[in-house]
């Protein structure tokens, strides 16, 4: 990030000096007010974050008095927004700051973003799927977030676009098509894979909210573990670090039985419909 900490000094028409520091490392604004007059003077200011009024205040300073205030703006910043602006308006003057805080840094700050709280494998409620991965996501932020939920197993590469509303918890079903018999007898009823929660290019950790690995079955329990985000080139081309997907696809992806029946079609170019879920808008 460029200019992670920047200070500007402005003065109003009443001879009040404002030394303003925008600190993008800890998402804060620090203002030092100094009355340069030999008498009590009134001061007033307003702070805007991304064009929205964040805070305004007016009071009085004694002669030569200096007062300092610090504001935490973490909750006000939206992680999926690349550039944030801060503008401080005073009487007859203003100061403006622009910064970009990568989400990889925001994870260690107070900025709240969506994250995975549970994953389970369930019988499919979708006509063309053999099972579904149900993921529960909490969004503790005051912001809505448009996300992609990408699921990769030994047989499926698919995703859904979901908007998670502010301060909400929702469960999303992602349909998957898993082969369990036929010539691919190396596969069992156990389903394992990875689930990524992101809002942009999957090869950039700055666009990632969360990631988890999971393993389970339709008629059993599912275990999952949140883990550090692992970039992938694209959702469709991912092979899986611990799976034999690529070998299976190369060997059986176009395998035909007598009469021309297609045994299996990998979901690369035809993703399942991205339907809107009740209570969750796109």
Instruction: Return the higher-pLDDT residue of 24 and 271.
Output: 24
Residues 6+ apart with CB under 8 A from 220: none
| Residue 50, pLDDT score | 87
Express each pLDDT in 200-242 by its tens digit: 778 888 788 999 999 998 888 999 999 998 888 877 655 443 3
**Given the DSSP bridges, would you call strands 191-198 and 208-216 parallel, antiparallel or unpaired?**
antiparallel
Give, in degrees to the nearest 5, the angle at Cα 98 between 92 and 101: 150
Instruction: Return the higher-pLDDT residue of 277 and 179.
Output: 179
The answer to whether residue 263 scores a pLDDT higher than 70 is no
| Tokens read off for 237 | 């081309």
CATH class of 5-105: mainly beta
| Tokens read off for 92 | 């007859």
The mean pLDDT value of the chain amounts to 77
Q: How far is it, in rounded angstroms, from Cα 201 to Cα 112?
A: 20
Going by C-alpha positions, the residue among 91, 143, 126 that lies closest to residue 267 is: 126
Task: Please list, residue by residue across 63-102, b when 16 or more beta carbons sit within 10 angstroms of its beta carbon and e when fewer do.
Answer: eeeeeeeeeebeebbbbbeeebebbbbbeeebbebebebe
8 A C-beta contact, residue 88 and residue 6:
no
The answer to whether residue 8 scores a pLDDT higher than 50 is yes
The answer to whether residue 196 scores a pLDDT higher than 90 is yes
In whole angstroms, how far apart are CA 270 and each of 152, 157, 184? 15, 10, 22
| Tokens read off for 156 | 């499926």
Which residue has 């985000």 as its token pair?
229
Instruction: Return the higher-pLDDT residue of 263 and 146.
Output: 146
Confidence class for position 118, pLDDT limits 50, 70, 90: very high
Mean pLDDT across 34-63: 92
CATH superfamily ID and name for 115-260: Immunoglobulins (2.60.40.10)
| Residue 232, pLDDT score | 85
pTM score of the predicted model: 0.59
Mean pLDDT across 9-37: 93
Residue ranges of the domains in the chain? 5-105, 115-260
Q: How far is it, in rounded angstroms, from Cα 210 to Cα 229?
A: 6
Which residue has 């079903």 as its token pair?
173
Express each pLDDT in 79-97 by its tens digit: 777 788 999 999 999 999 9
| Residue 237, pLDDT score | 56
| Residue 172, pLDDT score | 93
Q: How far is it, in rounded angstroms, from Cα 82 to Cα 78?
A: 9
């Amino acid at each position: 990030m460029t200019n992670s900490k920047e200070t500007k000094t402005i003065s109003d028409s009443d001879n009040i000096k404002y030394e303003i520091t925008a600190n993008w490392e800890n998402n804060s604004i620090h203002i030092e007010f100094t009355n340069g007059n030999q008498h009590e003077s009134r001061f007033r200011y307003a702070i805007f974050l991304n064009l929205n009024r964040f805070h305004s205040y007016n009071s009085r300073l004694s002669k030569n008095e200096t007062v300092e205030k610090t504001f935490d703006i973490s909750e006000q910043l939206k992680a999926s927004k690349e550039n944030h602006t801060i503008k401080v308006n005073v009487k007859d003057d203003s100061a403006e700051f622009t910064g970009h805080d990568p989400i990889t840094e925001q994870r260690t700050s107070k900025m709240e973003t969506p994250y995975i709280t549970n994953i389970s494998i369930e019988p499919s409620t979708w006509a063309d799927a053999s099972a579904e991965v149900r993921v529960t996501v909490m969004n503790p932020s005051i912001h809505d977030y448009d996300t992609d939920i990408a699921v990769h197993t030994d047989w499926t590469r698919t995703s859904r676009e979901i908007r998670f509303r502010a301060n909400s918890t929702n469960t999303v079903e992602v349909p998957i098509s898993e082969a369990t018999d036929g010539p691919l007898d190396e596969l069992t009823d156990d389903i394992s894979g990875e689930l990524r929660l992101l809002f942009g290019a999957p090869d950039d950790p700055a666009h990632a909210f969360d990631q988890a690995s999971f393993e389970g079955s339709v008629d059993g329990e599912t275990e999952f573990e949140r883990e550090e985000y692992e970039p992938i080139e694209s959702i469709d081309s991912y092979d899986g670090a611990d799976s034999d997907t690529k070998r299976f696809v190369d060997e059986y992806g176009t395998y035909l039985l007598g009469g021309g029946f297609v045994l299996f079609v990998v979901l690369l170019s035809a993703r399942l419909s991205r339907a809107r879920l009740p209570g969750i808008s796109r």
